[in-house]
Amino acid sequence: MWNKSVTVIVSLALGLCGTGMGLYSKMSGPKYGYVKIKDVFDRFDMKKEMETKYQKDNGWKQRELDSMAFVLQGEGNRLKSMGEVPDSLARDFSLRQNDFLARRKQLEDEKQSQTSEYNQQIINRMNQYINEYGQHNGYDFILGDDGNGNVMFASPARDITEPIIRYINDRYSGKQ
Amino acid sequence: MKARYIFLLLLFASCKWNGQHPGRAFTDVSGKTLSPADYSRWFESDESTQQHLQQAGGKSYEVTFLPADLLALHEAGPGADENAIREAKTHYEDLVYFRLRIKDPDAGGEILKENISSPQDYQQRVTYCAFGMQRDISLLDEQNDTIPCALFNFERAYDVTPFVNFVCAFDRKEVGQCRFFTFVFNDRLFHNGFLKFSFTQEDLRNTPKLKP
């Protein structure tokens, strides 16, 4: 008889507990947080590494172009000081100047396309990891505060920028 | 009596299926020796626990450590005798092998044919996989020094599988000196940037041995 009563009480307690937890999760509403996008982007290790790679890839091309510009400037000053410049020298100088301008344009185009490709890769990965963080931690919403008025007010208690930065850097390094 | 059943039902409902087949479960095999048949079964059943995963641009990147015993077993073939396996193992002792698998869960056919506009694009991808990709794969040790990929093999899948496999190997002596290291792939195939997979020496040691 006593055993039966204990079983009934335990079963009822478990049932009540389950119902209580269900009701609590319904009543507490959606879980949300916000991140300061600029901070996350700037402190994302992938961004720092891609920046280094970009500088390494383009550094020598830029230096080559700078040397060309230096030589051309010297050549231009020399021609100016000559007063009357022979046609052949002027033509040669003009050809080299055009070559320099074409190369500079090409490098600028390459840099621009590389910048937008790298930025896209960084943003995609950042979004991917933030998405994973939200799923793993049971978030319904993670808002992005970019300082442009998308988020006009949010309690600092909902600011998850720091844990997100830690998470995305750990994920990027392959540790998680 | 009814309440007891309710209690048992609640208890049962709170249990979670772990997805493992009871006949195939291998627990704590590190350092243990397994027969060739069990070794293959262990790798198949535990493969997912050996994998290091990253996802980017809708693709899934998996890096799996391939023990020398497993490769020897594959080379010797099923039913091979001890001598054949021992002989095969000597072929894999100088390097540490990993498999990089790139897959797209939504892909219908060959992953290399995704989002291409011409047969030339496809050819370019195949050429990159066969000859250029090795340069974009390396290991970084704890001092951030690079260990280059010493051996690389691209397994062409054609339209058979929605994934593509690459076997990459690194000098065993150099890898053996690191407590931990990172497998780095700079993805210029699908333009997803750097992908990193962190390993410890423990990951390599915690595999069973093949019964001699």
Indicate the range of A8-12, A34-38, B66-70, B163-167 predicted with least confidence.
A8-12
Best of B1, B2, B7 to disrupt the A interface (most A CBs within 10 Å) is: B7
B54 with A49: Cβ contact below 8 A: no
Cut 0.95: pTM above it: no
Dihedral sign, Cα of residue A75, residue A78, residue A80, residue A85: negative
Q: Is A46 on the interface with B (CB under 8 A)?
A: yes
Indicate the range of A50-59, A134-143, B31-40, B158-167 predicted with least confidence.
B31-40
| Phi and psi torsions of B185, nearest 5° | -125, 120
Q: Which residues of B touch A118 (CB under 8 A)?
A: 193
Kindly tell me if the per-residue pLDDT of B21 is higher than 60: no
B56 with A125: Cβ contact below 8 A: yes
Q: What is the pLDDT of residue B16?
A: 42
Q: What is the pLDDT of residue B101?
A: 95
Q: What is the pLDDT of residue B47?
A: 65
For the question of an ipTM over 0.85, the answer is no
Average pLDDT (B34-50) is: 78
Q: Is B183 on the interface with A (CB under 8 A)?
A: yes
**Nearest to residue A115, comparing CAs of A57, A40, A63?**
A57
Q: A45-81 and A87-136 are packed helices; what angle lies between their axes, rounded to 10 degrees? A: 170
Name the B residues in 33-72 with CB < 8 Å from any A CB: 52, 54-57
Task: Measure in Å the smallest separation between the Cα of A24 and chain B Cα atoms.
Answer: 19
Residue A116: CB atoms within 10 Å:
10
Q: Is A140 on the interface with B (CB under 8 A)?
A: no
A11 with B197: Cβ contact below 8 A: no
A46 with B193: Cβ contact below 8 A: yes
Residue of B nearest to A48 (CA): B194
Q: Compute the mean pLDDT over every residue in chain B, rounded to the nearest whole number.
A: 84
Q: What is the pLDDT of residue A142?
A: 95
Q: What is the pLDDT of residues B52-72, one digit of tens each?
A: 999 999 999 999 999 999 999
Q: What is the pLDDT of residue B42?
A: 85
Task: Measure in Å the smallest separation between the Cα of B194 and chain A Cα atoms.
Answer: 8
Q: Is A174 on the interface with B (CB under 8 A)?
A: yes
B56 with A15: Cβ contact below 8 A: no
Q: B179 with B166: CB under 8 angstroms?
A: no
**Nearest to residue B204, comparing CAs of B95, B83, B124?**
B95
If one compares B11 and A111, the residue with the highest pLDDT of the two is: A111
Q: Is A128 on the interface with B (CB under 8 A)?
A: yes
Best of B12, B55, B138, B181 to disrupt the A interface (most A CBs within 10 Å) is: B55
**Nearest to residue B181, comparing CAs of B133, B138, B134?**
B138
